[in-house]
Structure 1
Amino acid sequence: MQRFAVTYRVFAANAAEARARAEGIALEQTVEVPEDVVPAGYIADEIVGRIEEIGQESEGRFRATLSFSPDSAGHELTQFFNVIFGNSSIQKGLKVIAVDPGAEMMVRHPGPRFGIEGIRRLAGRPKGGMIAPVLKPQGLDADSLAQIAYLCAKAGADVVKEDHGITDQHMAPFRERVEKTAATVKKANDETGGHSLYFPSLAGRPQDIEANIRFARDAGADGLLIMPGLLGFGVVDRIARDPELNMPVMTHPAFLGPYVLSEDTGFTHGMMFGALQRLAGSDISVFPNVGGRFGFTAGECGEIAGACRDPHGPGKPMLPSPGGGMSVDRAGDMVAMYGEDVTYLLGGSLLRHGDRIGEGIAAMRAAIDAAEGRLTKD
C-alpha cells in the first residue's frame, strides 16, 4: 500500500537538530509515544512515520519529507489531516509546505467533484474569468438580499454567493433567505436564458447542518459556501462525496488566517488555500486578494492560484477566487496575474450602484473580457 508524504519546513540550528525534530514528528504524528516503547513489528515497521529525506534550504531552515501509512490515516478526512499536522502543529518552528497523497489516499479522498471544468459547465461559461458578486451587508432582510441576487443574476453573474457573515440571524433566517434567493436567481435565469449559480452560506448548529444542507439543495441552491475553519473540513468532504447531493462547494478563509500568517508555523498559503481545500473536495477556494484590505502579497496570491490549478495536485484542479480590491481599473492587472481560470469576487463596491448593480457587473465583465483579449493577442 503506497504511503503518503508530507514535507515540513523545519527551523533548526543545524542538521542534527533538524533530524531530531523530524524523528519527533514521525512519532508525534502517529503513535505519540517514546521510540523505546513502540511495539515491534507492524506498528514500528508501518505505522510510525518514516523520514524519507532531509535537506537544508538556507541557514536555520531545513526541508524534511516524511511518509505515513494510509492505515494511520484511516478513511476519514479529519484523521488524514490529523496525521499531516495534528499535535506537531502546536510546536513552534514547523511549517507544512507540501503533501503528496499517493494513490491510496487519492482513492479515499478524490478531491473536487466538479473542479474548474465542472463549474464552467454548470455556469455556462466555457472560458474566461468568472464573476461572483457577494450578497451583503449583514442586517438586510431576506427579501432585500434576494432582490440583490436577482439583479446580479439578471446582469449575468456567474456565481451569486452570500457573504460568509450572513448565516442564520433573525434579520434573514437561513431557510427563508435560501428559499427566496434561489427563487429570484431562477427567475433571472429564466428571463435571460443564463446559468447564474447560487451559493448560500451554510449555517446552523451542528445538529442542524445536515438538514440545512438538504433544505438548500431542495430549495434550488446550486452549491454551498462553507467556512472550513469554523464548520470543519469534514463538512466540505461530506458534501463533496455525496452523489445524491451533487452540489459544488465554495470554501471561505474565515478563521484560517492564523494557519498561514506566521513565518515559522502553520501552512504555506498554497497548502492551506490550495492543496488542503482540494483534498477536502472544494471546487472554488476564496482568499484575500493582493491590494485589498488584507495583507496577502502578490507572490502569496500567485502561490495559492498555482496550488488550486496545479494539474499534478490532488484531484481535479479547482478555481481560485480572489476577493478584495477588485475594480474595473484593476481588471487588467488581475487578468495578467491570474489568467482565465479564476472566479473574481466583487463585494461592497458593487453596492454603490444600488438598483443599477447590474451596470457594475456588466462593466467588470467588459473590462475582464477586454483584458483577456489583449493578453491573448500578446
Structure 2
Amino acid sequence: MTSYCTATYRAFDEKADFHKKAAGIAVGLTVGSWTELPEAKKKDMEKHLGKVVSVEVHEPEADAAPGSLAAQRYADIKIAYPDANFSRDIPALLVTAFGKLSMDGRIKLLDLDVSDDFRAACPGPKFGIAGVRERLGVYDRPLLMSIFKSVIGYDLPELKEQFYQQALGGVDLIKDDEILFENPLTPIEKRVEACIAAAREAEKHTGQKLLYATNITGRTSQLRAQAKKAIAAGANALLFNVLAYGFDALQELAEDPEIDVPIAAHPAFAGAIYPAQHYGVAPQLLLGKLMRLAGADLVLFPSPYGSVVMPKDETLAIADALKQPEGALKSSFPVPSAGIHPGLVPVLVKDFGRESVVNAGGGVHGHPMGAAAGGQAFRQAIDAALRGEALEEAANRPGNEQLKAAIELWGVKR
C-alpha cells in the first residue's frame, strides 16, 4: 500500500484556474507528465504520481480592507506525494514538496503532514519537555532562561562572571548568544569548563540545577565532533542555529547516542523564510513541526510582545505544533523570545501556559540592581502569575524588591 506525505499550499492569483494548477503541481513535482504516457507505463508509474487531495478557492470579499487576506483571490491546495519518491529525510521532503515550486509565483507552503513511515525515520526530541524537566527537577512552573549578552571580545574570566551573576538569579537555563562562535578568547572547551564551574558555585547559593546551552558552530562536517568536545568538557545542553545549517544537521545531532543532552534550536535566519504573506514557509511549520521532527528539545521564536514581534496567532500556532500529541513523538518546549521583561510574564503564562520557557536577555542584564536581581525578578513574577496575583501586588511583598524595581523600570503588560 502506498503511503504519502501531504503538503498544504496557499496560492495567490487573480485569474488562475486553481484546480488546473493543483493538477499541474501533482504531476510536475512527481512523474513529470501523465497524459502523454502509454497506458502500460501508467500502471508502473501510478505509485509515483502525486495526488490532488483538495482545492479550496477563496474569492475576494467586496468589503474587505485593501491588502488583507480577505481582499485577495487565493486557493488552499493539498497535494499528496508518495513516499516512494524520496528518501526518509527532511531535505528530500522539502525539495520534493517545495523545491522548484517555491519559485513559481505567489505560493506559500503552509503545512506538511508526514506519513507514519516518514515519521518513524525521524527521532524527534531526545528529551522533550518531560526530559528537560527531569534533568532540572522542575515540574510545576514555566522554566526561566537567560542569555549571554555582549560576549564578543570578552575573555574567559569576564564570561564566567557574567554567567555566575545570571545563575545567582535562579534561572534554569543559560544559553550562549547565537553569534558567539569558536574564537581564541573563549574556545569551546575552556568556555564550557568555566561556565559549568560557575554553575556549580551558584548552585551552592540557589540550591537548583542549571543547564548551559553551549553554541555549537563550525563546518557542518565537524558539528558532531564539536558537540562531543563540549559534552566532554561538561556541557549539559546545546544551542544550534538550525536554519543556517539545515534540519538534517539538527537530526544528525539528535540521533547521535553520544550527544546525550537537550538541544535548543535558535531561529536565526527564519526571517528570510516565513514573514511574507505570499512566499516562503509558514512559521508553525518552519519553527514548529519541522524543528520538533528533526529533534529540537526547545525551540526559540519571536514573542508577540517584545522587541522582535511575531503576530500572536502565528506564535500560538508554533507552540501548538511543538506540543500537540503526535504519536510517539515527544513534545518540545516553546520559547517565545526577544524583548522579554518581568512585566510580560503574566501574558506569557496566560498565552503559552506552564509548559513553556520564559527567555530573557536585556530583561535580566538590564535590571537596575544587576543580573542576579533580574533573574530573581522573573522568578518572583512567575510565582505571582501562577498564583493569579497582580504583579503590582506581588512587588509589595517582603523580599520582592527585585520585582518592584523591574516593573518600575519596564511596567506591566496587560
Q: Assess same fold via TM > 0.5.
A: yes
Structure 1 partner of 2:89: 76
Distance (Å, rounded) in 2 between the aligned partners of 1:29 and 1:191: 60
Deviations 1:148-187, CA, capped at 9 Å, x for gaps: 2223233321111111011123442333322322332244
CA deviation after TM superposition for structure 1 residue 27, in Å: 3.8
TM-score normalized with structure 2 length: 0.83
Structure 2 partner of 1:295: 309
TM-score normalized with structure 1 length: 0.90
Write the letter of the residue equivalent to 1:77. Answer: I
CA deviation after TM superposition for structure 1 residue 300, in Å: 2.0
Distance (Å, rounded) in 2 between the aligned partners of 1:245 and 1:123: 18
Write the letter of the residue equivalent to 1:123. Answer: L
CA deviation after TM superposition for structure 1 residue 38, in Å: 6.6
- Which has the larger displacement, 178-187 or 248-257? 178-187
Write the letter of the residue equivalent to 1:125. Answer: V
Distance (Å, rounded) in 1 between the aligned partners of 2:59 and 2:377: 47
**Is the Cα contact below 8 Å between 2:238 and 2:263 reproduced in 1?**
yes
Structure 1 partner of 2:279: 265
Write the letter of the residue equivalent to 1:19. Answer: H
Shift in CA distance, 71/195, structure 1 to aligned 2, threshold 3 Å:
farther
**Is the Cα contact below 8 Å between 2:50 and 2:79 reproduced in 1?**
yes
CA deviation after TM superposition for structure 1 residue 374, in Å: 0.9
Write the letter of the residue equivalent to 2:108. Answer: K
What SS does structure 2 have at the residue aligned with 1:340?
Answer: coil
Aligned length: 373
Structure 1 partner of 2:21: 21
Distance (Å, rounded) in 1 between the aligned partners of 2:33 and 2:170: 60
CA deviation after TM superposition for structure 1 residue 270, in Å: 1.1
Shift in CA distance, 111/43, structure 1 to aligned 2, threshold 3 Å:
farther
Aligned positions of 1:290-369 closer than 5 A: 290-312=304-326, 315-353=329-367, 356-369=370-383
Structure 2 partner of 1:147: 161
Say which of 64, 76, 97 aligns to 2:110: 97
Distance (Å, rounded) in 1 between the aligned partners of 2:28 and 2:145: 42
What SS does structure 1 have at the residue aligned with 2:91?
Answer: helix
Shift in CA distance, 43/278, structure 1 to aligned 2, threshold 3 Å:
farther
Say which of 281, 302, 318 aligns to 2:295: 281
Write the letter of the residue equivalent to 2:50. Answer: G
Deviations 1:114-145, CA, capped at 9 Å, x for gaps: 11111111121112111110012132223322
Write the letter of the residue equivalent to 1:224. Answer: L
CA deviation after TM superposition for structure 1 residue 246, in Å: 2.0
**Is the Cα contact below 8 Å between 2:337 and 2:359 reproduced in 1?**
yes
Distance (Å, rounded) in 1 between the aligned partners of 2:193 and 2:317: 37
Structure 2 partner of 1:5: 6
Structure 1 partner of 2:405: none
Structure 1 partner of 2:120: 107
Say which of 158, 165, 176 aligns to 2:179: 165
Structure 1 partner of 2:211: 197
Structure 1 segments (4+ residues) deviating >6 Å:
none
Shift in CA distance, 313/10, structure 1 to aligned 2, threshold 3 Å:
farther
Deviations 1:49-89, CA, capped at 9 Å, x for gaps: 21111112443121111111222231223212322322212
- Over the matched positions of the two proteins, sequence identity in percent amounts to 27
Structure 1 partner of 2:64: none
Larger Rg: 2
Superposition RMSD in Å: 2.4
Say yes or no: does 1:239 pair with 2:240. Answer: no
**Is the Cα contact below 8 Å between 2:146 and 2:166 reproduced in 1?**
yes
Write the letter of the residue equivalent to 1:50. Answer: K
Q: Which runs of 5+ in 1 are unaligned?
A: none
**Is the Cα contact below 8 Å between 1:321 and 1:343 reproduced in 2?**
yes
What SS does structure 2 have at the residue aligned with 1:55?
Answer: strand
Distance (Å, rounded) in 1 between the aligned partners of 2:293 and 2:130: 17
CA deviation after TM superposition for structure 1 residue 107, in Å: 0.7
Say yes or no: does 1:251 pair with 2:265. Answer: yes
Shift in CA distance, 175/265, structure 1 to aligned 2, threshold 3 Å:
same
**Is the Cα contact below 8 Å between 1:199 and 1:223 reproduced in 2?**
yes
**Is the Cα contact below 8 Å between 1:120 and 1:127 reproduced in 2?**
no
CA deviation after TM superposition for structure 1 residue 213, in Å: 1.2
**Is the Cα contact below 8 Å between 1:287 and 1:322 reproduced in 2?**
yes
Distance (Å, rounded) in 2 between the aligned partners of 1:294 and 1:96: 23
Distance (Å, rounded) in 2 between the aligned partners of 1:124 and 1:330: 25
Shift in CA distance, 220/9, structure 1 to aligned 2, threshold 3 Å:
same
**Is the Cα contact below 8 Å between 1:159 and 1:198 reproduced in 2?**
yes
Say which of 137, 147, 151 aligns to 2:150: 137
CA deviation after TM superposition for structure 1 residue 257, in Å: 0.8
**Is the Cα contact below 8 Å between 1:279 and 1:314 reproduced in 2?**
no
**Is the Cα contact below 8 Å between 2:224 and 2:253 reproduced in 1?**
no
Deviations 1:16-38, CA, capped at 9 Å, x for gaps: 6212322333244445x344677
